[in-house]
């Protein structure tokens, strides 16, 4: 049994308990750790030290890309590739591109948000070491799980375990890395 | 001990009963109980009522629908009642009606999220599903109305050997962009919302098949703080974009009409008119679905009377705006002094051709809607179910009045002609209704019909700053 250790997991009973434990772990100087919860917990982002998510910027980029692309396409189609004079109107005018460009901006923004979310979260993925743990199934139900990674500089199988137990974590277990 | 003391204190601080907000979930027994409750229907045996509803819907969707669809495609648009001067008939009426049904779904799931209405968590998913399926039905109509659907790709701006480009200045072209975007974005929004709930069903799965299917659908979701952080951002962005779509898609459908010169169509109020009409109609459909499914799926504790009451109130509000617009339409027709406008509006109600639909519009959309002022009506599920059905018919009549009412009698009496739907029109409509309900029933049975993770975050047990959520006296640093 020479399986590599992925980390240590501990269960908490309520979002409040998880938040308090997270504050202590963060204060203890750990870096490579994460909380696994059935729903987003208000205030946890701050404790984990996350900055504003980049997803919004990816969506903005997607939206802007589509908007300019469609406006450009209309210019290309109507003023460059196949100009047709209709009623003496100009071949291209910016306001007339607005509706299609705006609609496709929404499409681009939505695709950007989704792709950005998947990209940053590294989804879809086929497997995760935690998904192999029986007890982890309760993290999508009513338990709040903290996992401290073995790749953390401060990680020490005994001390970290002790820390999680003193914070009130139940069923502290080792998570094995799987091939 | 400190928790109990906290709850006692909280009770003292709580506002009086009449000012308190209704709980999101009634008789809430905790997060585990909620998870069981919300995933119960998707995991239980298929009940009898489901089959009773599914078999006719599936028959309409898989027999009547393709027969009418392919007969029309192979033969031509002539099999429908559309003919000069009524080039738009039931195909466009039904297109607008289906787009309308979709709108309330997006309004509930996206706009109420942005305004932080926690009660929406319980009905948001069902509303989104309604949106996705009805947009799919709507998108079909214009696609086959072209007459030669195998040339539909001409509508997309792709380089082709003819060197042709679509007419980007036409609202009909904007429709292509709008409906396609609506379908894609609402599907993405619906699917992304379900990912955490797929993970719940994956973790609860007892059979290998379920485990495999939901593992694939959940895409390896673990629910880490990092994932939630970005997920929430993406969700807010999608909500914002979907809100824009609520106002855009039906506006563009309205522009199809108001850019024409026809009396009864040529009005600047049309984009707003269509948006509000769409939302009103969609709330009617929402009432039908919610009042029936909460009972059939035993979800009375989650989709509470208070939530239905709020949907009914929103329905009333949109109905009142629609009533105002009817009034303005008639007023402007009179005030404009245009004899054609006056003729069209007079004949909507007092003409002899389609007066029935005109009066249905008044009786249902104006009169029946007023019954929602009464709390007795809003708390009676059976009555609400039928009001929802009637509103759908009322709004369908309104589209009939607008589309056919204006085209069948235009400026030249020599140009007049009646419109009568044929059996293929009727069959196709029944087919789309069947397909919608078939898809909806499949969704209800096999997918998480209620946003499990969102509801859990909206109850006190999910709030880290609430004693039930484990908050301690003095808070945390």
Domain limits, chain B: 24-157+165-458
Query: Is A179 a residue whose pLDDT tops 70?
Result: no
Triad B169, B170, B174: Cα angle to 5°: 100
Q: Does B465 touch chain A (CB under 8 A)?
A: yes
For residue B5, name the pLDDT band (cuts at 50, 70, 90).
Answer: low
Check residue A127 and give its pLDDT: 84
Q: Is pLDDT at A1 greater than 50 in this prediction?
A: no
Q: Determine which of A20, A36, A37, A80 to mutate to test the interface with B (most B C-beta atoms within 10 Å).
A: A37
Confidence check: pLDDT of B379 > 60? yes
What are the pLDDT digits (tens) for B442-476? 999 999 999 999 999 999 888 888 888 887 765 54
**pLDDT, tens digit (0-9, with 9 covering 90-100), for B187-199:** 999 999 999 999 9
**Per-residue pLDDT, B100:** 92
* A110 contacts B241? CB cut-off 8 A: yes
The predicted-structure confidence for B25-70, as pLDDT tens digits, reads as follows: 888 888 999 999 999 999 999 999 999 999 999 999 999 999 999 9
Between CA B201 and CA B179 the distance in angstroms is: 32
| Residues of chain B neighbouring A140 (CB-CB closer than 8 A) | 35, 196, 199-200, 202-203, 223
Closest-CA distance of chain A to residue B176, Å: 9
Complex-level ipTM beyond the 0.85 threshold: yes
User: Is A39 within 8 Å of chain B by CB?
Assistant: yes
Tens-digit pLDDT profile for residues B208-259: 999 999 999 999 999 999 999 999 999 999 999 999 998 999 999 999 998 9
More confident residue, A154 or B141: B141
On whether the B24-157+165-458 domain is CATH 3.20.80.10, my answer is: no
Q: What is the pTM of this model?
A: 0.92
Q: Do B248 and A106 touch (CB under 8 A)?
A: yes
| CA nearest neighbour of B110 among B240, B232, B233, B229 | B240
Say whether residue B192 is in contact with chain A using an 8 A CB cutoff.
yes
What letter does residue B414 receive in the DSSP assignment?
Answer: G
B229 has a chain A CB within 8 A of its CB = yes
Residues B275 and B247: beta-carbon distance below 8 Å: yes
Mutation to test the A interface, candidates B181, B186, B474, most A Cβ within 10 Å: B181
Report whether A137 contacts B201 (CB < 8 A). Answer: no
Query: For the segment B416-432, what is each residue's pLDDT rounded down to a tens digit?
Result: 999 999 999 999 999 99
Residue spans per domain, chain A: 5-52+128-176, 55-120
What pLDDT is recorded for position B470?
80
In the predicted structure, residue A129 carries a pLDDT above the cut 90: no
Band of pLDDT at residue B353, cut at 50, 70 and 90: confident
Give the pLDDT of residue B476.
Answer: 47
Distance from A29 to chain B by nearest Cα, in Å? 16
Residue-level pLDDT at B241: 94
> Considering only alpha carbons, which residue of chain B is nearest residue A59?
B237
Residues in A closer than 8 angstroms to B457, CB to CB, are 39-41
Instruction: Say what the pLDDT of residue B70 is.
Output: 94
- Whether A64 has its CB under 8 Å from any CB of chain B: the answer is no
> What tokens were used for B297?
């799926």
**Chain A residues within 8 A of B205 when measuring between CB atoms:** none
Q: How far apart are CA B276 and CA B279, in angstroms?
A: 5
pLDDT on residue A59: 96
Give the minimum alpha-carbon distance from A13 to chain B in angstroms, rounded to a whole number: 8
Residue A2 has pLDDT above 60, yes or no: no
Taking phi first (over 0 means left), then psi (-120 to 50 degrees means alpha), and beta for anything else, what does residue A43 get?
A: left
Asked if B223 lies within 8 A of A45 by C-beta distance, the reply is no
Please give the pLDDT value at position B308. 94
Chain A, 85-114: which have a CB under 8 Å from a chain B CB? 96-97, 99-100, 102-104, 106-107, 109-111, 113-114
The pLDDT tens digits for B128-164 are 999 999 999 999 999 999 989 999 998 888 888 888 8
Question: Would an 8 Å CB–CB cutoff place B227 in contact with chain A?
Answer: yes
Give the per-residue pLDDT at A168: 86
Q: What digits encode the pLDDT tens for the residues A85-123?
A: 888 888 898 888 999 999 999 999 999 999 999 999 998
Contact assessment for residue B194 and residue B147, using Cβ atoms and an 8 Å cutoff: no
Give chain B's end-to-end CA distance (angstroms, integer).
Answer: 21
Cβ contacts of B252 on chain A, cutoff 8 Å: 99, 103
**Set of chain B residues whose Cβ sits within 8 Å of the Cβ of A85:** none
């Amino acid at each position: 049994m020479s399986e590599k250790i992925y980390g240590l997991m501990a269960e908490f009973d309520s979002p409040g308990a998880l938040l308090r434990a997270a504050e202590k772990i963060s204060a203890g100087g750990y870096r490579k750790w994460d909380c696994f919860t059935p729903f987003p917990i208000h205030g946890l982002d701050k404790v984990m030290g996350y900055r504003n998510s980049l997803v919004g910027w990816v969506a903005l980029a997607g939206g802007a890309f589509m908007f300019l692309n469609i406006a450009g396409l209309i210019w290309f189609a109507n003023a460059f590739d196949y100009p047709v004079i209709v009623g003496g109107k100009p071949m291209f005018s910016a306001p007339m591109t607005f509706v299609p460009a705006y609609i496709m901006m929404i499409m681009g923004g939505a695709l950007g948000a989704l792709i950005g979310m998947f990209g940053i979260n590294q989804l879809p993925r086929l497997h995760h070491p935690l998904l192999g743990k029986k007890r982890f199934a309760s993290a999508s139900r009513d338990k709040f799980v903290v996992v401290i990674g073995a790749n953390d500089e401060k990680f020490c199988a005994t001390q970290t375990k002790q820390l999680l137990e003193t914070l009130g974590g139940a069923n502290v277990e080792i998570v094995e890395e799987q091939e | 001990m400190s928790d109990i003391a906290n709850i006692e204190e909280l009770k003292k601080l709580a506002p009086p009963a009449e000012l308190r907000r209704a709980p999101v979930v009634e008789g809430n027994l905790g997060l585990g109980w909620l998870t069981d409750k919300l995933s119960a229907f998707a995991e239980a045996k298929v009940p009898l009522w489901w089959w009773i509803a599914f078999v006719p819907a599936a028959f309409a969707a898989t027999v009547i629908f393709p027969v009418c669809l392919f007969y029309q495609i192979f033969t031509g648009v002539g099999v429908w009642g559309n003919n000069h001067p009524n080039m738009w008939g039931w195909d466009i009426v039904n297109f607008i009606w289906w787009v309308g049904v979709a709108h309330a779904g997006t309004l509930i799931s996206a706009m109420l999220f942005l305004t932080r209405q926690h009660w929406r968590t319980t009905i948001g998913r069902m509303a989104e599903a309604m949106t996705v399926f009805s947009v799919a039905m709507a998108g079909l109509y214009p696609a086959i109305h072209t007459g030669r659907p195998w040339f539909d790709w001409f509508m997309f701006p792709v380089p082709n050997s003819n060197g042709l480009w679509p007419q980007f200045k036409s609202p009909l072209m904007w429709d292509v962009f709008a409906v396609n975007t609506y379908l894609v974005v609402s599907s993405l929004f619906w699917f992304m919302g379900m990912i955490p709930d797929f993970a719940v069903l994956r973790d609860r799965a007892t059979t290998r098949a379920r485990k495999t299917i939901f593992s694939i659908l959940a895409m390896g979701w673990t629910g880490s703080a990092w994932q939630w952080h970005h997920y929430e951002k993406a969700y807010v962005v999608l909500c914002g974009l979907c809100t824009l779509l609520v106002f855009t898609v039906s506006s563009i459908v309205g522009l199809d009409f108001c850019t024409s010169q026809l009396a009864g169509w040529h009005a600047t109020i049309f984009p707003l008119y269509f948006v509000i009409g769409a939302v009103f109609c969609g709330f009617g459909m929402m009432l039908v679905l919610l009042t029936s499914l909460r009972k059939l799926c035993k979800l009375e504790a989650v989709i509470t009377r208070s939530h239905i009451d709020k949907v009914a109130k929103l329905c009333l509000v949109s109905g009142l705006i629609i009533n105002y617009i009817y009034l303005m339409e008639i007023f402007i027709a009179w005030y404009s002094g245009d004899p054609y406008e006056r003729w069209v509006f007079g004949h909507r109600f007092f003409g002899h051709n389609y007066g029935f639909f005109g009066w249905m519009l008044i009786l249902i959309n104006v009169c029946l809607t007023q019954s929602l002022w009464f709390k007795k009506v809003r708390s009676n599920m059976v009555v609400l179910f039928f009001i929802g059905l009637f509103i759908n018919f009322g709004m369908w009549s309104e589209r009939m009045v607008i589309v056919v009412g204006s085209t069948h009698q235009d400026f030249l009496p020599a140009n007049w002609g009646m419109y009568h739907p044929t059996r293929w029109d009727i069959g196709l409509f029944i087919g789309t209704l069947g397909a919608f309900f078939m898809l909806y029933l499949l969704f209800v049975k096999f997918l998480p019909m209620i946003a499990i993770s969102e509801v859990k975050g909206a109850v006190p047990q999910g709030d880290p700053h609430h004693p039930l959520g484990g908050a301690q006296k003095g808070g945390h640093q």
